[in-house]
Amino acid sequence: MSYNLLKGKKGIIFGALDENSIAWKTAERVKEEGGEFVLTNAPIAMRMGSIQELAKKTNSEIIPADATKIDDLENLVEKSMEILGGKIDFVLHAIGMSVNVRKGKHYTEQNYDFTQKGWDISAVSFHKTMQVLYKKEAMNEWGSIVALSYMAAQRVFPDYNDMADNKAFLESIARSFGYFFGKDHKVRVNTISQSPTPTTAGQGVKGFDGFIAYADKMSPLGNASALECADYTVSLFSDLTKKVTLQNLFHDGGFSNMGVSLEVMNSFIKGQEEQ
């Protein structure tokens, strides 16, 4: 169902890789709600994924950009404004990567070059993106910038590794930069802390199937899907949330406020009885 929530709005969507990705689903939903956008991803990710298919489907142009490079980001913002014919109303930052996770390095045995690279891609790139948008005054008033996070920023999920630190840093950047963007340009900045979602990035984390099953049993409404996250993102891009800023918004079926659920408790009791 479409409500025309984003009619006339223009934006940039980072990180669509394949149809499992939240950015991909968001692009589809934004299009359905009347929004226009430019798609962007790192050149290497573009070779791995099927972003061309999404561009065709949503009638969008693609501008390759390494989000850790200021020159690439400046080119992205300038070209996006040319293509879209004006300033930008919304941005989705849906990128994150841990080299330590990919290379199987335990949290207590990090390779710090890997740590720095992951930190740059997953968190500092958000600051760089906003700095370019801010300096170029590229955002319309009441524009909306959203980045995707995960609850490991606040609580311990041992196998999430240094991505937990990256997400904590990402959320802090959203608050700190969000203050200046709000004060100076009336732009809102938020992060969405999503349920564990079986995306290409998510599935790279050890024991991820366990995360998903546990979170689903813990959450009164069950896990939020990628499509449901796209719906929530659309609401944050719309004019219905003009005063929501500096927030880390949990979109997780209630998981973040649970201590324990009956299902999880019962599985433990059952396990003990069987011993």
Q: Give a yes or no: residue 25 inside a domain.
A: yes
Q: Give a yes or no: residue 45 inside a domain.
A: yes
Q: Give a yes or no: residue 50 inside a domain.
A: yes
Check which CATH number belongs to the domain holding 235 and give it.
3.40.50.720
Query: Is 22 annotated for ligand binding?
Result: yes
The average pLDDT across 5-11 equals 98
Residue identified by tokens 């740059």 is 120
161-213 tens-digit pLDDT: 999 999 999 999 999 999 999 999 999 999 999 999 987 766 667 777 888 99
DSSP 17-38: -STTSHHHHHHHHHHHTT-EEE
Q: Give a yes or no: residue 2 inside a domain.
A: no
Predicted local confidence at residue 204, as pLDDT = 67
Q: Give a yes or no: residue 89 inside a domain.
A: yes
**What is the spatial distance between Cα 122 and Cα 253, in angstroms, rounded to a whole number?**
24
Domains in the chain: how many in total? Answer: 1
Residue identified by tokens 């941005």 is 91
Catalytic residue flag (residue 134): no
Query: Is 15 annotated for ligand binding?
Result: yes
**What is the spatial distance between Cα 9 and Cα 11, in angstroms, rounded to a whole number?**
7
* Catalytic residue chosen out of the listed positions 3, 107, 134, 150: 150
Query: Is 212 annotated for ligand binding?
Result: no
Q: Give a yes or no: residue 4 inside a domain.
A: no
* Catalytic residue chosen out of the listed positions 3, 112, 160, 179: 160
The model carries a pTM of 0.96
Query: Is 167 annotated for ligand binding?
Result: yes
The average pLDDT across 73-83 equals 98
Q: Give a yes or no: residue 114 inside a domain.
A: yes
Q: How confident is the model at residue 246 (pLDDT cuts 50, 70, 90)?
A: very high
Six-digit token string for 91: 């941005």
Catalytic residue flag (residue 3): no
pLDDT at 270 over 90: no
Predicted local confidence at residue 47, as pLDDT = 82
Provide the residue range defining the domain that includes 221: 10-274
Q: Give a yes or no: residue 16 inside a domain.
A: yes
92-149 tens-digit pLDDT: 999 999 999 999 999 999 999 999 999 999 999 999 999 999 999 999 999 999 999 9
Determine the 3-state secondary structure of 58 from DSSP: helix
